[in-house]
Each structure stands twice: as structure tokens, then as C-alpha cells.
Amino acid sequence: MNEERIAVITGASAGIGAATAVALSAAGFQTVIGARREDKLAGIVASTGGRYHRLDVTDPASVADFVASLDRVDVLINNAGGALGLDRIQDAPEDQWQRMWELNFMSTVRMTKALLPSLVDSGNAQIINIGSVAGFETYAGGGGYAGVKHALRALTRTLRLELLGQPVRITEISPGLVETEFSMVRFDQDEDKAKAVYQGMTPLTADDIAQAIVWVASRPAHVNIDEMVIRPRDQATATQVFRGGQD
């Protein structure tokens, strides 16, 4: 049955999204990937055999155009998102915090709202939202990002209640430290700051999360994995990290 299922992945030009496209394709899913960097998408599709379409999840017109390109969808993976800065509330750059709401929260609302009729019609659908351990914890400097990830978790749980009885499974996967472009984006391309996040420990890889997504998406139709929290062995909380291992 997997070979007949079509999976849509947002934020798929790199990191977890790109790894998920590769892993799902290898597992027999047809993939349709979206992001703003079309050159990156084209390279991924060249190896996976899927399809791509430019997508800016913060732009309602772009979302509508992306959705219009689809014939049907069975799995929606709301992966687009990210953190911007590590500012305390008293110094909050409101434009960046608003941008995080658009990237992490409203993007999920838009994509889910736009594709929900097609998902229900598929008869065996799934929505997988990529959250974060920041959706369970707070930390100094994380008010903006933790705020939107807490909201995303509430949205996911609400969706589970609202779709009860419909043929749609709802899952949130919440990773801890994953070495991708995440920290480069958070620290405005400051390579030293980004590398320091993972220094002395072994972080997760994008493929670690992609394999978890494949497992969740491959469960029988009656099995709903409500949520998964995945951290490196070296990470106990958002801020408690053992750094006595890898250099």
C-alpha cells in the first residue's frame, strides 16, 4: 500500500525535510516536496524521483498555488519552521518573533487547512507536524521559539480532537538537538556560534528524524502515534547537555 501513498513535505530543501523526502521515497512513498529554494528541490528530486513545487509557507498565495498543483495527498508533513535568535523577552525583536509565528505556526495552519479536504478524501491520511523539545520546555532566551512550539503542540492536540472519527491520523515529532542548518539560521549565519551548539557532544542527524517519520507513516491505518520526543543520548533537556564526548 505504501507505494500508492503520496506524501507532501514542506521545508524540504535541506535538513530534516530533505532527508525525509529521501527516506520516504526509499520506503515506497511518492513524494511532493516544497520550499523556496527551487535549485535545492530539483537536486533532491533528481535522486528520489519525486516531484517538487516552489512553496513559501508564509505566503497564502504561494500555498494556494502549491496545493493547486496536487492531484491528491495522503500524508502531510509540516516540517517548515525554525528559530531566529536567542533574545530575552525584554529585548524581543518583534519582527523576528512574528516571523517565527509565520514559519512555525501559521504555516502549519495554512497547509493543514488547505489540504484537509483531500486528506479526508484519501480514506487513510496522516498529518505529521515537526515540533521541538522547546514545545515541552522553556529556557532563558527561548521565549519566542518555545512560545511558537508550545502553540504548535496545542494546535496538534486540538486537531487530534477535532478530527476524531475521521480517517486522518495526527502525530507530532519533537526533536532535540539535530545538526542541520537550524543553528546557522538561528544565529544569522554565524558559523562559530552554530558549531558551538553541537560542540563536545553527538547530536542527532536529519536522517535519524527522517527514519522516525517513515516508521510513523508506515504504521497500519488503525495505529496513531500521538507524539514522539527524540533527543540525543547526550541531551537530557533543552539546556542540559553532556559535552564530554565528541570534539
pLDDT digits 0-9 by tens, 191-236: 999 999 999 999 999 999 999 999 999 999 999 999 999 999 999 9
Fold for 2-230, please state it: Rossmann fold (3.40.50)
Instruction: Determine how many CB atoms are found less than 10 A away from the CB of residue 16.
Output: 29
Check residue 245 and give its pLDDT. Answer: 63
Check residue 188 and give its pLDDT. Answer: 85
Q: What is the pTM of this model?
A: 0.94
Q: At 53, phi and psi to the nearest 5?
A: -150, 135
User: One of 52, 139, 145, 198 is an active-site residue; which one?
Assistant: 145
b vs e for 146-160, b when ≥16 Cβ sit within 10 Å of the residue's Cβ? bbbbbbbbebbeebb
Picking from 206, 204, 176, the residue whose alpha carbon sits closest to that of residue 22 is: 206
The one-letter amino acid code at 175 reads P
Check residue 193 and give its pLDDT. Answer: 94
* pLDDT tens track for 115-135: 999 999 999 999 999 999 999
* pLDDT tens track for 82-120: 999 999 999 999 999 999 999 999 999 999 999 999 999
Active site residue 145: yes
